[in-house]
């Protein structure tokens, strides 16, 4: 069984969804420390003025003191969902498939989740289905009992618990993953290579590091093909 473990993120980029489509089981790593300046509650879109951040406001209490991602609460005192929908509309209303996905956006921004993890996880799962990713199963790391290790040891505990034989990781994890521990646990380790074809974008130059919504707005039902290698697309 192939497993991927990633922290929940707000409307992630296509590399995140490529990892989802490759996995038999995708585990949202929701019980690790919240990274204040990471991708848990923010992402970027392309706008006529350049890249623009969309950030979901969160309550700051405890965020700097080792709070877990699952415990970070959305700050609903600010009209962020209205502002995000407006920003996406202004930037993408001329995109070929904007109208197709507008109802999905409206559905997302009508949610009232208490935690950033709930919002990010549920919208990510729905986007995966929209992309045509149907076979991957999802779960949260916090659903597993008896996980108490750190770093690589923690990953091995999770992977052993769910019975995986193969783990796929993002390339940046090479800096801290202890490969010998995977070998000792008889779990094969693969690092994904983010090497994707370009697709049409409204505002040149091309930039791949933006939310998946950019790809969906521009390519519609063909979006999944832009995560595949040449041999997969044939």
Taking only the tens place, the pLDDT of each residue in 13-22 is: 999 999 999 9
Ranges of beta strands (E only) in the chain are 2-6, 25-28, 42-47, 50-55, 137-140, 166-169, 188-191
Q: Token pair 């009508």 is at which residue? A: 110
State mean pLDDT over 128-134. Answer: 96
Q: How far apart are CA 126 and CA 143, in angstroms?
A: 20
Both tokens assigned to 90? 């202004």
The pLDDT of residue 210 is above 80: yes
The pLDDT of residue 61 is above 70: no
Task: Provide the pLDDT confidence category of residue 149 given band limits of 50, 70 and 90.
Answer: confident
Q: What Rg, from alpha-carbon coordinates, does the chain have?
A: 18
Q: Which of 188, 200, 202, 205 is nearest to 226 (CA)?
A: 200
Helix (H, G, I), strand (E, B), or coil: what is residue 44?
A: strand
The pLDDT of residue 62 is above 70: no
Q: How far apart are CA 223 and CA 220, in angstroms?
A: 6
Task: Provide the pLDDT confidence category of residue 232 given band limits of 50, 70 and 90.
Answer: low
pLDDT at 37: 86
Q: How far apart are CA 199 and CA 229, in angstroms?
A: 14
Q: How far apart are CA 95 and CA 79, in angstroms?
A: 25
The pLDDT of residue 234 is above 70: no
Average predicted confidence (pLDDT) for the chain: 94
pLDDT at 233: 55
DSSP 153-210: HHHHHHHHHHT-SEEEE-GGGGGT--HHHHHHTT-EEEE----------SSSSP---S
Q: What is the pTM of this model?
A: 0.95
User: 118, 31 in Cβ contact below 8 A?
Assistant: no
The pLDDT of residue 65 is above 90: no
């Amino acid at each position: 069984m192939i497993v991927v473990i990633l922290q929940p993120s707000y409307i992630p980029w296509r590399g995140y969804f490529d990892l989802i489509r490759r996995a038999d089981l995708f585990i949202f790593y929701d019980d690790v420390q919240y990274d204040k300046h990471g991708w848990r509650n923010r992402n970027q879109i392309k706008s006529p003025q350049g890249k623009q951040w969309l950030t979901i406001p969160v309550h700051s209490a405890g965020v700097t003191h080792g709070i877990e991602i699952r415990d970070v609460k959305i700050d609903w005192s600010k009209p962020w969902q209205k502002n995000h929908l407006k920003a996406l509309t202004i930037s993408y209303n001329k995109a070929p498939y904007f109208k197709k996905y507008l109802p999905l956006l409206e559905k997302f921004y009508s949610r009232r989740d208490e935690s950033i993890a709930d919002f990010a996880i549920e919208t990510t799962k729905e986007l995966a289905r929209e992309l045509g990713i149907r076979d991957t199963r999802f779960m949260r790391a916090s659903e597993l009992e008896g996980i108490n290790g750190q770093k690589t040891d923690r990953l091995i505990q999770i992977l052993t618990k769910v019975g995986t034989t193969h783990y796929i990781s993002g390339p940046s994890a090479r800096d801290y993953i202890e490969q010998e521990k995977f070998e000792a646990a008889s779990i094969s380790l693969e690092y994904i290579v983010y090497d994707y074809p370009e697709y049409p974008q409204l505002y040149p130059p091309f930039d791949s590091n933006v939310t998946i919504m950019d790809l969906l707005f521009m390519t519609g039902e063909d979006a999944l093909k832009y995560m595949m290698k040449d041999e997969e697309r044939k």
